Amino acid sequence: MSVREVLSYPALQLRLLAGRAGLDRSVSWAHASELEDPTPWLLGAEMIMTTGLALPRSAAAQRAYLERLDDAGVSALAVSVQLHMPPLRRAFFDTAEERGMPVLEVPLAVPFIVVAQEVAAAVQEDARHRLGAQLQVFGALRWLASEQLDTATLFRRLENLSGYDIRLCSPQGRPLLPGVPVPAPALVPASADAPPTIPGGFVLPVPSPVGTAGFLIALERDGARPAGLAVVQHIATVAALQLAVIRTERETLRREGTEILAEMLQGTLDQEAAARRLVRHSLTGTVELTVVRGVTELDLLRALDDEPFLLLNRGGERYLLGAPGVAETVAGLPGAAAGTSRPLLCGASLRIARREALWAASHAAASGRPLVRYGSDPVGRWLPDDPAALDALVEQTIGAALRYDAEHDARLVQSVRTWMERDRRTDEAAAALHIHPNTLTYRLRRFSALTGRDLTSTGAFTEVWMALRSAWELGLLD
């Protein structure tokens, strides 16, 4: 029933003092309270009755009292001005008008219990409707077991039963369950301890074993009969169960994907079988192999929650097989250094892709870039696949410098590589090496003397750069 209907009962003799704009607010209960702040014990849609003991005397405190009630979803405030009521200030009435919060006067001849009985009798039929809705929500668990409903269909049924539009989101406002829309950002509470009542509905936390998984927002639908908070609480429980089922399925798939990726990297899975198994993980067409450093597995799982991918941990590196574009998401994580292979067909051998991704990840870490794609450096495409050819190039070009570093615990090759990776910017390279620029200049000259390669020459520079790349491919450089 509405406040307008309560006001219209002749036997109650109620009179409107302020807040006419809120007369269409629904009333689910009428209850007397003499607490200055009864809101922790309210569910919303109540009409609070007071003899005045609860009302403070100052204008500011009266305004705050009325604002607290309105924020908690109270439908109306009924006062008995002839008992203990302090003088009602102009700020009190202004607040009621601003917020559309009806303030009613109860005559001394009408006991509060009479008002409560009239409201209770009027909402009895609605209570039967709510009980029926609760029983049917319990039946949602049977739907899940017998009809194998997808999440979107399940929650459409729950909306029809409850009389609410259902929205679900994570604490950050992201989608929580597939097919269920997210609420407007302004409706997402900052804490799971926030009051459950909001204007036109309810907001409840969706629990999980590790804390609050997200929030359910239920908004009254035009023309529908909302079933109340108890039904919304049951729907939040259904959401938690469905979320647990989906997360269990995802964890099973993730573990299976880890095994698939391990077999592909070892070369024990043929292309046809690999492609067939990748389809189950929504990976088809073209994929990329990415090696990620500097981030945790949990960071990756959170960032890629909605993306199809396979993930394998090896030491401090994460191997990630996913659709083109996944690497960009990874690169946005703080501290990430990621390297991506050239695109390849689903199920294809990862032997070359692994080498490409590892090189690109090392290049990303050395250059301070979050993402390096193999092939973005034109030198890499000219390197031969034959290890013997790579070894010959290394020995002929920088072999003398490598031996000098090993014998004298020096850093000539590392210094030259850092200088080249930073496009020959001596000051920047010296800072990365934590040495003085003059020290770096001396090392460059010493390297040239040992190898016979003048780094100011384009030809010698190119040859040294390719030799450095080859040394890395052979595992001779970190």
The residue that leads in pLDDT, 100 or 390, is 100
- Residue whose pair of structure tokens reads 């013997």 in the numeric block: 388
Burial class (CB in 10 A: 0-12, 13-18, 19+), 334: exposed
Structure tokens given for 380: 């890499």
User: pLDDT grade, residue 139 (50/70/90)?
Assistant: low
pLDDT at 127 over 70: no
pLDDT at 435 over 70: yes
pLDDT at 71 (0 to 100): 92
For residues 277 and 260, the answer to whether their CB atoms sit within 8 Å is: yes
pLDDT at 282 over 90: no
Q: What percent of the chain has pLDDT over 90?
A: 34
**Which residues are registered as beta bridge partners of 47?**
30, 76
The H-or-E segment that residue 95 falls in is helix 90-99
For residues 85 and 51, the answer to whether their CB atoms sit within 8 Å is: yes
Strand 103-105 to 76-79 pairing: parallel
- CA 82 from centre of chain: 54
Q: At what angle do helices 151-162 and 229-266 cross, to 10 degrees?
A: 180
Q: Which SS3 state, helix, strand or coil, does residue 167 take? A: strand
pLDDT tens column, 50-107? 998 888 999 999 999 999 999 999 999 999 877 788 999 999 999 999 999 999 999 8
**Which residues are registered as beta bridge partners of 206?**
214
Domains of the chain listed by start with CATH number: 3-122 (3.40.1390.20), 139-247 (3.30.450), 267-377 (3.30.70.270), 382-473 (1.10.10.2840)
The residue that leads in pLDDT, 142 or 43, is 43
- CA 43 from centre of chain: 29
Average pLDDT for 14-36: 92
| Calpha distance 259→250 (Å, rounded) | 14
User: pLDDT grade, residue 377 (50/70/90)?
Assistant: low
Determine if residue 78 is left, alpha or beta; phi over 0 gives left, psi from -120 to 50 gives alpha, anything else beta.
Answer: beta
pLDDT at 365 over 90: no
For residues 416 and 410, the answer to whether their CB atoms sit within 8 Å is: no
pLDDT at 108 (0 to 100): 86
Mean pLDDT for the chain overall: 85
pLDDT at 166 over 90: yes
pLDDT at 18 (0 to 100): 94
User: pLDDT grade, residue 362 (50/70/90)?
Assistant: confident
What is the largest distance, in Å, between two alpha-carbon atoms of the chain?
111
